[in-house]
Structure 1
């Protein structure tokens, strides 16, 4: 049985949990849920550790160790990700590489995380005074992570918290706890004080009470907007960081001549890991002059994508996380067709696997346009002017990232009107570098991931005024 981690110590709980992969139901591993007493032990240890002065070199060295270990053990970790989540092994390897980079960025940021000095003698009454401005942790952090990136999204909670010296408790997704627990085994090999971190598998119904604990003043949640909003609304006095996903859009402009490249990127990143990414391409807006050709190219690309066993290096599209997710996606496809949409390709299903799908003529009120599909489905719509395309993108209640295929600098300037947290020019919205600020607006959340940006969210400025000092 794989242990979980309470204040840096391996523990087993009273309730065993079998973790089975969505591809064939194979057993990925066995762990257990933490008991109420074990959860209390983790929270109490985090609270007691909130003023620990852990030197930057200890924090940085620990993060470096995890980064190096992930690189050394990449195939093993990726195989675990594939076993429990069904993510194709190629994408699992890419995720492990990103997680190693995320921890490496955490180590680098920990070494340069410093305060600033501000002169105050700009006013005669403040002659001889300077201000030392430091950023200090807001307090212990509760990080709640989803199933779709079971290593890297845990890394995006752990690395910033450790970098700033904030105690952190991770609640991994019940479907994919094993990857997070493996990260715990790597942290246990370091010199970090145990009270600084815990990784606790608990049922989702236990999360509200954990999020409400006053000893955890900061909650960082990645997942569905309904759950994220519920956490925010139930805890108005807390600092809540939410990364809630979206229905990412891409605009293909008439000046973009390499439609083959655009089609390749859109098909690839509308369906990678079965579309289970919050910036997976979902809505495609093509200028009417390129619409017909792009539709043909996308249909060909999607039909050719390898679908099947996620353990095969050839597989691009694997299963969805469970049967309920596959039911929802195929139900939305059927509803769109019933409402007048044209099914260009795909739409089929085998167990938990949904074929890469392209639809056109989808009414704007359909769920495939208004909601986050989180599946391998693309909706293609024509537009006539860039202003119209911007209006279509902004009509969504989400606003995470958008992509624009263009070389026109006037369009690049106008892309600032897109109501999203990030715009990617010349590529799909799926692009993300793990060091950059990443997050959205509207129902896509509040706050930012990306190690340095997250460190700002986890801390607040504290000012010390020094009297009788010369700058």
Structure 2
């Protein structure tokens, strides 16, 4: 893997690689082998990283936009040169199948390129103050200024691209960063630090601290020098962050139990492969993974038969094998939890159409039918290769069921009726409605984020930059 197995990793603080005072082993989810020794940062080390970012903030804010863009473009180029190595890191530390990992790296490169472009178009507007009596003879305009230190806490499931959605806009807008990656996927964060160092990021503008979320995460959230916290993860943790963050800017990308609605006039053969991908890609461990499918009764039997048949063709195995579609879940505990949730659904009358059993750390892709909507596989975020397919009388009924959820990230609706599509777009309580595709669709410059317990704020480069900057008003009195 380039840097050798079992290698002791270092924290990246103030432009230097710092040996940790304590270490813990990192194990590959698929093989169970130890792949690295990861530093477990202390509060003092987290503090040093925050201080380094705090010291670098003025130089970073003064850096011209074209220079910030150049660093981000150089980063994208370096990542492009080493994309296979990057994909292998993700496959190893997260058990993401290699072809899925490659797709993630492709997107990560795009995300940094978008960030470089957006760095050049952070602008304000002029205001006609004479629209109000007393505003005559005055000239007013707005500018956007960086907030300072961004504390980024990222998840395991897209360890390169979801980090890029925090680091890209932060650097583009002249902020500095302290990154705390997920405990299972620190290697990709160290890899990024190496590339950013080569790309010429200013000393202290980017820092990586690894270790316990409680220790380091809490420090980042509570430290007054940190001005923005951007977190992707579970609602429970997100709500805790918001409660402790005081007046800091907080961007939360939280959970979902994303749904697809299938209308009666849909070409099933065309949509089945998309729905299977949406449900089982990276073992269903995706924020906008398809978890609930509501199919209008006229096509329900046909849909189930085709969907189950397609699900059974998925290959399980080693993430580094080119043929693998589904591999190990992130922890053995997640396998146990998933089996418990499936059992709860079965106890309440659900039928297992396929899957339902585990194979070591791999859970076979599972399709559940006639699921009672009060059970966990329906109400909570399953984050596993499990999908439920239920019959509905109409799209209207399906919309009600989709909305009957604490979450609202994205929803997909397949229909050929333009009125149905507009109704769904209006009535669905989600951050994004995707007509004639799965809710798992995302390209990296679109506004992405949810309502209710799915979070607050939006990612997507332009939108994240708005969250990470402050609007300042300037008025000249010419009277």
How far, CA to CA, are the matches of 1:414 and 1:39 in structure 2? Answer: 49
Structure 2 CA distance, aligned partners of 1:149 and 1:322? 16
CA distance in 2, matches of 1:424, 1:147: 25
Instruction: Please state whether the residue corresponding to 2:165 is helix, strand or coil.
Output: helix
Q: Distance in 2 between matches of 1:443 and 1:325?
A: 21
Structure 2 counterpart of 1:430, from 435, 440, 454: 440
User: Conserved in 2, the CA contact under 8 Å of 1:70 and 1:97?
Assistant: no
Question: Is contact 1:33–1:202 with CA below 8 Å preserved after alignment?
Answer: yes
Task: Report whether the alignment pairs 1:87 with 2:96.
Answer: yes
- In 2, the alpha carbon distance for the partners of 1:373 and 1:342 equals 17
Q: Does 1:32 align with 2:39?
A: yes
Say whether 1:47 aligns with 2:66. no
Question: What residue number does 2:471 align with?
Answer: 461
Residue in 2 aligned with 1:131?
140
**Residues 282 and 377 in structure 1, CA contact (< 8 A), matched pair in contact too:** yes
Q: 2:212 is matched with which residue?
A: 203
Count residues with an aligned counterpart.
468
- Give the CA deviation at 1:295: 0.5
Instruction: Note the alpha carbon deviations across 1:287-306, whole angstroms, 9 max, x for none.
Output: 00000000101110111111
Provide the C-alpha distance between the structure 1 equivalents of 2:109 and 2:11, rounded to a whole number of angstroms: 21
Partner of 1:10: 17
Q: Which residues of structure 1 form unaligned runs of 5+?
A: none
Q: Deviations over 1:209-255 (max 9, x none)?
A: 32111111211100011111111112232221100020000000012
Q: Distance in 2 between matches of 1:265 and 1:356?
A: 15
| SS of residue matched to 1:188 | helix
Other-structure match for 1:111: 120
Deviation at 1:49?
A: 2.8
Aligned mates of 1:128, 1:315 — CA distance in 2: 68
Q: For 1:362, what is the secondary structure of its paired residue?
A: coil
**Corresponding position of 2:3:** none
CA distance in 2, matches of 1:28, 1:424: 39
Task: Give a deviation string over 1:43-86, Cα, whole Å, max 9, x none.
Answer: 11222333331111221111111111111111000000111000
Task: Indicate the larger mover: 24-33 or 449-458.
Answer: 24-33
Alignment of 1:172-321 (within 5 A): 172-206=181-215, 207-256=217-266, 258-321=267-330
CA contact (8 A) 1:135 1:459 kept: yes
CA RMSD of superposed structures (Å): 1.3
Q: TM-score, normalised by structure 2?
A: 0.95
* More displaced 10-residue stretch of structure 1: 41-50 or 406-415: 41-50
Per the alignment, residue 360 of structure 1 pairs with 369
Unmatched segments (≥5 aa) in structure 2: 1-7
**Do 1:58 and 1:191's aligned partners in 2 also have CA atoms closer than 8 Å?**
no
Classify the secondary structure of the residue corresponding to 1:65.
Answer: helix
1:127-165 residue CA offsets vs partner (Å, 9 max, x unmatched): 221112011123311000011111111111100000000
Question: How far 1:418 sits from its partner (Å)?
Answer: 0.3
Does structure 1 retain, via aligned residues, the 8 Å contact 2:43–2:219?
A: no
Which residue of the partner structure matches residue 149 of structure 2? Answer: 140
CA contact (8 A) 2:46 2:219 kept: no
Give, in angstroms, the shift of residue 119 of structure 1: 2.7
Secondary structure at the counterpart of residue 358 of structure 1? strand
Aligned: 1:398 with 2:407:
yes
2:384 maps to 1:375: yes
Q: Kindly provide the CA deviation profile for residues 415-469 of structure 1, in whole angstroms up to 9, marking residues without a partner as x.
A: 1210000011111100001100000000000001111110011112101112229
Deviation at 1:383, TM superposition (A): 0.9
Q: Distance in 1 between matches of 2:93 and 2:417?
A: 44
For 1:394 and 1:417, locate their aligned partners in 2 and report how far apart those are by CA, in whole Å. Answer: 9
Q: Secondary structure at the match of 2:134?
A: helix
Q: Give CA-to-partner distance per residue, 1:182-230, whole Å, 9 cap, x none.
A: 1011111133321222111121221223211111121110001111111
Q: Deviations over 1:248-279 (max 9, x none)?
A: 000000121x2012221111210011000010
* Separation in 2, partners of 1:398, 1:126: 45
Q: Which residue of 2 aligns with 1:21?
A: 28
Residue 112 of structure 1 aligns to a residue whose secondary structure is: coil
Instruction: For 1:202 and 1:131, locate their aligned partners in 2 and report how far apart those are by CA, in whole Å.
Output: 47
Paired residues of 2:97 and 2:327 also in contact (CA < 8 A): yes
Tell whether 2:353 aligns with 1:344: yes
- CA shift for structure 1 position 124: 4.8
Q: Which deviates further from its counterpart, 313-322 or 26-35?
A: 26-35
1:289 & 1:142 partners in 2: Cα distance?
Answer: 50
Give the distance between the partners of 2:41 and 2:159, measured in 1 at CA.
19
The separation in 1 between residues aligned to 2:41 and 2:69, in whole angstroms, is 29
- Between the aligned partners of 1:30 and 1:82, the Cα distance in structure 2 is 18
Cα distance, 1:4 vs. partner? 2.4
Q: 1:121 aligns with which of 124, 130, 133?
A: 130
